[in-house]
Structure 1
């Protein structure tokens, strides 16, 4: 899976504009934009877009900017090119959605958990059955989500997202 393919699938999970005040990814605390709730567009939160230099309304965020952010901030940082396509997608999706994807990947691979994907993590992931990595990774991700204080407010979408990811991983 190339980055372009992963991004297309990622946007299928994210959708377009969202302004759910109970989702912390949408909340800017009134620090940017006109209102207190700037939302997300293509899964990019207002604070991330502003840090990237975007000054417009979140509803108008260009898809190509979201793609550039995803490539630089998530795909490249987490070394997704180093992994089986199915694992790479799980990692970028988790990084984009929020949480601790490097730690979950390290736990899934059985290596020291330091939150930094380095040579040891890459080697361990590449030498383990991809389906085992995916199942463990998503299990750690679900446990994290369950413990989030906002779980009741956003759980339906998050559970659907993980279910879709598992189906994609099993393809």
Structure 2
């Protein structure tokens, strides 16, 4: 595991790549977003301005507090797993952790409570699992989740959501292994 500050910086760079800038798509139930942060979410953090003017630092703070630290991803030993769960959580809320718990139960035959809370038992299981085995199944689960919600107005987003998983897999594939066998990002 690399330094958590550096790890989060790299995850944040990745999130910016897949989330993009300002958007106000009529089909997106999130409404106005910038850097993937919805107006509702920004307002809940005290932001009062026009969403087009949301600063990168403000978005970064939300990602770090609401997705990275709240989900205890700073305690996940493997950087690839931390990035993957953070990404899915950003795009689906508590389903990111719920699907991780379901994946762990499926692979390990365990009986973790599937509650969307990354607690002590889930953390322990994540830190013991073979990362490649977990990520392959987890990414398949993410694809299935997107397929399950791609109806009505959401149908238009399916290709982009599936591309998001492929982009994540490519990012993870290009991460380097360091001496202590934990993963780190390439520059």
The residue correspondences of 1:13-24 to structure 2 (distance < 5 A) are 13-24=18-29
Work out the CA distance in 2 between the residues paired with 1:145 and 1:128: 24
**CA displacement at 1:25 relative to structure 2:** 2.1
Give TM-score, length-normalised by structure 2.
0.80
**CA displacement at 1:67 relative to structure 2:** 0.1
**CA displacement at 1:134 relative to structure 2:** 1.3
State the secondary structure of the residue aligned to 2:136. helix
**CA displacement at 1:143 relative to structure 2:** 1.2
Unaligned runs of 5+ in 1: 27-38
Alpha-carbon RMSD:
1.3
Relative CO higher for 1 or 2, CA cutoff 8 Å, sep ≥ 6? 2
Is 2:13 the counterpart of 1:8? Answer: yes
Work out the CA distance in 2 between the residues paired with 1:143 and 1:118: 24
Q: Is the 8 A contact 2:27 2:154 kept in 1?
A: no
Q: Is the 8 A contact 1:134 1:169 kept in 2?
A: no
Q: Is the 8 A contact 2:15 2:87 kept in 1?
A: yes
Q: Is the 8 A contact 1:87 1:130 kept in 2?
A: yes
Give TM-score, length-normalised by structure 1.
0.88
Tell me the matched-pair count.
159
Deviations 1:58-79 (A, max 9, x none): 1110000000000000000111
Q: Is the 8 A contact 1:81 1:88 kept in 2?
A: yes
Unaligned runs of 5+ in 2: 106-111, 175-187
Work out the CA distance in 1 between the residues paired with 2:136 and 2:29: 26
Aligned counterpart in structure 2 of residue 73 of structure 1, from 46, 51, 66: 66
After the TM superposition, list the runs of 4 or more consecutive aligned residues in structure 1 that deviate by more than 3 angstroms.
none
Q: Is the 8 A contact 1:94 1:101 kept in 2?
A: yes
Query: 2:156 matched to which residue of 1?
Result: 153
Work out the CA distance in 1 between the residues paired with 2:11 and 2:35: 14
Q: Is the 8 A contact 1:131 1:170 kept in 2?
A: no
